[in-house]
Amino acid sequence: MEKRYCLHCKERLEGRRDQKYCNPICRSAYHRKLKLESSVQSAIHKILRKNYIILEELFTHMPFDQHQITSTKIKLASKGFNFEYCTRVYQNNRGKWYRYVYEYSWMEFSNQKVIIYRQKDW
């Protein structure tokens, strides 16, 4: 007979073979936790998507072969860009930090300038 454990509190379960929780309190707590995690992920996804759309719009009227644009932090922030959220971070050998939102990246400078790069399509 295999040992079974509560999905929430990890206590050993006794009784029915299809039992997943040791009591209704654990069942409710488990589902509240799942709902909270999915709502946090959804909020982060919305921020990343908005950042992506803002960066994508900057390149819409540019020639296809142009992969770099200079802007200001104020201009991006006024469109709703959130500099705190990115999909990855990279530091080059000179110590400069690049932040990415999928195929777009940006590097910030102390004078409020931002260089935005679009990765080349392979």
Domain count for the chain: 1
| Share of residues in the chain with pLDDT > 70 (%) | 97
* Residue 6: inside a domain: no
In this structure, the chain runs to a length of 122
Query: Measuring CA to CA, how many Å separate 7 from each of 11, 18, 35, 102?
Result: 8, 12, 15, 34
Query: Measuring CA to CA, how many Å separate 51 from each of 38, 78, 105, 118, 122?
Result: 20, 12, 11, 13, 23
Look up the domain containing 72 and give its range. Answer: 24-118
> What is the average per-residue pLDDT within 7-32?
93
* Residue 36: inside a domain: yes
* Residue 14: inside a domain: no
The pLDDT value recorded for residue 65 is 76
pLDDT digits (tens, 9 = 90+) for 36-68: 888 888 899 999 999 999 999 998 877 777 889
CA angle 64-85-95, nearest 5°? 80
Distance CA 34, CA 90 (A): 31
The pLDDT value recorded for residue 31 is 92
The pLDDT value recorded for residue 111 is 87
